[in-house]
Amino acid sequence: MSKLKVCAFTVSIDGFGAGPEQSRQTPLGVGGEELHQWMVSTRTFRQIQGSAGGTEEVDDGFTKRSFENIGAWIMGRNMFGPIRGSWPDDTWKGWWGNNPPYHVPVFVLTHHARPALKMEGDTTFHFVTGGIHEALERAKEAAGGKDIRIGGGVSTIRQYLEAGMIDEMHLAISPIFLGRGEALFAGIDLAAAGFQRTEHAATEHAMHVVLSKK
């Protein structure tokens, strides 16, 4: 049975999943790029970027696991790109170039309709205007029994958490402070929601914590 999962999502020590002032120049907000130092040097991430080498230890293990048995993704519009309001044209096709790293159907939450966008490498972006429930229903159908991964951003994860739909989360806690930005768990009681820690491991660049529903 498929699970709805958050995988390899990084937060700062002070609980922010993105910094302030997100823009085309700073898609993760001011200081947000520093969150992912644990991932960018791994062998798996470098392979995705078309590069050789990289570390093969704990950080790489969690990065690799985050792509296993994933049949569909869900993401918010902010993660797809910086454009707000109605789509002015079809020029913007995401941050990732012609061959995004997903290779499965991706369902993008938006208030503004747009035709599906087929990319290289079997990634197709579907733009969902009916909210989180419609996106999950469509993702489950597309996943064919595999898991569905919520890519982000913070607002999208929070919506699914508040609706009680997430089954498992892998968080990488980065040893930096952002000070402000988008707080992932503000006002959310994870224990009351039924989560418990089922795995944790520390590396130089992150504390990895897996939370699963009881």
Are 169 and 163 spatial neighbours (Cβ–Cβ below 8 Å)? no
Counts of helices then strands in the chain (DSSP H, E):
6, 11
| pLDDT mean over 171-180 | 95
How far, in whole angstroms, is CA 8 from its chain's centroid?
Answer: 7
Are 15 and 181 spatial neighbours (Cβ–Cβ below 8 Å)? no
Query: pTM for the whole thing?
Result: 0.95
Nearest-angstrom CA–CA distance, 102 and 119: 10
Q: Percent of the chain having pLDDT more than 90? A: 86
pLDDT digits (tens, 9 = 90+) for 120-172: 999 999 999 999 999 999 999 999 999 999 998 999 999 999 999 999 999 99
User: Which pLDDT belongs to residue 200?
Assistant: 97
pLDDT digits (tens, 9 = 90+) for 55-90: 999 999 999 999 999 999 999 999 999 888 999 998
**Degrees to nearest 5, angle at CA 19 with 87 and 195:** 95
Nearest-angstrom CA–CA distance, 203 and 213: 25
213: its two tokens: 């529903």
pLDDT at 23 over 90: no
Fold (CATH) for 4-16+29-82+99-213: Dihydrofolate Reductase, subunit A (3.40.430)
Given pLDDT bands bounded at 50, 70 and 90, which one contains residue 117? very high
